Structure 1
Amino acid sequence: MPELDNIDRAILRLLAADASLSLNDIADKVGLTATPCWKRIKRMEEVGIIKGRVAVLDADKLGLPVSVFVSVETSDHSAEWLARFALAIAETPEIVGAWRMSGDVDYLLHVVVQDIAAYDSFYRKLIAAVPLRNVSSRFAMERMKDGALPI
């Protein structure tokens, strides 16, 4: 992994805040011309530091105001079970984030749905897809921060 200098970090902060900035805008803000700025961005893409560029959408305005954090525990840690679980995660659009955890919870899922009935439907599909020992849901009351990485 290449070392990042202050200019690389400044570029990353700008892209994380607004990926729609033009190359010229980024270059101006970090004190470079377009070509060396582009080369730095390209290098960071090639090594995987920049994984992609996305638009941040407003879930409420898109009719998906319910955010649920789902803790999943399983008693089966076989490769077959994990493959089925990974497939279920990949094929379920309501799951917008998924992590394998340490501690007393095996997996943590971030689920976004339109209402409680939609969550219930999601839940029923999840438990039908793979056997689970325990599922615990926590409904977010308010999004207090949704920020970029501390670069």
Structure 2
Amino acid sequence: MELDNIDFKILRLLSKNSRIQWKDLGEQIHMTGQAVGNRIKKLENSGVIKAFSLEVDEMKVGLSYTAFIIIYMKTANHDAFIRFMNDCKEVVEVHRVSGEGCYHIKVKLNHQEQLNLFLDKILEYGNYSVHLSIQEIKQQNPLTAT
């Protein structure tokens, strides 16, 4: 599906407030609510919109530690590691990378002990280096940047 400017406007507005009424969204882009609804359905059916989600204040739910971990794999068989990553609730992002290490992981945790337990499990797959976040400076949805 090729997206036009109207589709991108709809995506930007939905990324700011996924609960917005189609009528209200339509008023902002000079369309009827029904026309907006049809566009949204097409975006969903084509897989452009994968889900509607919410943003949570991580500190208020106890996720006070953010760590970035670089993984240096011991083996070329990465399937078990990938399964492990997909099963870990504290892992919020995993990227296979070029350059330093094999994977870069972002984790959100409740406390230091949870990080230690997680790192112990990683040793089964490879070595690591850990970088703790001191302060998040910016987090932005890529659609709102354009």
> Would the TM-score normalized by the shorter structure come out above 0.5?
yes
Equivalent residue for 1:83, pick from 79, 82, 86: 79
- 2:15/2:141 contact within 8 Å kept: yes
Is 2:119 the partner of 1:119? no
What SS is found at the alignment partner of 2:61?
coil
Deviations 1:83-138 (A, max 9, x none): 211211111100011111111221111100112111101111232xx421x20111
Q: 1:71: which partner in 2?
A: 70
Aligned counterpart, 1:94? 90
Aligned-CA RMSD value: 1.4
Matched, 1:27 2:20: no
Amino acid at match of 1:139: L
Give the deviation of 1:53 after TM superposition: 1.0
Identity among equivalent pairs (%): 26
CA distance in 2 between counterparts of 1:99 and 1:46 reads: 27
- Superposed, 1:29-48 pairs within 5 Å as 29-48=28-47
Aligned residues: 144
Task: Give every structure 1 segment of 4 or more consecutive aligned residues whose post-TM-superposition deviation is greater than 2 Å.
Answer: none
Q: Tell me, which stretches of 5 or more residues in structure 1 are unaligned? A: none
Unaligned regions of 5+ residues in structure 2, if any? none
By how many angstroms is 1:144 displaced?
Answer: 0.9
Matched-pair contact (CA < 8 Å) for 2:23–2:34: no
TM-score scaled by length of structure 2: 0.91
* 1:56-92 Cα deviation digits (max 9, x unpaired): 11110001111001111114222xxx22112111111
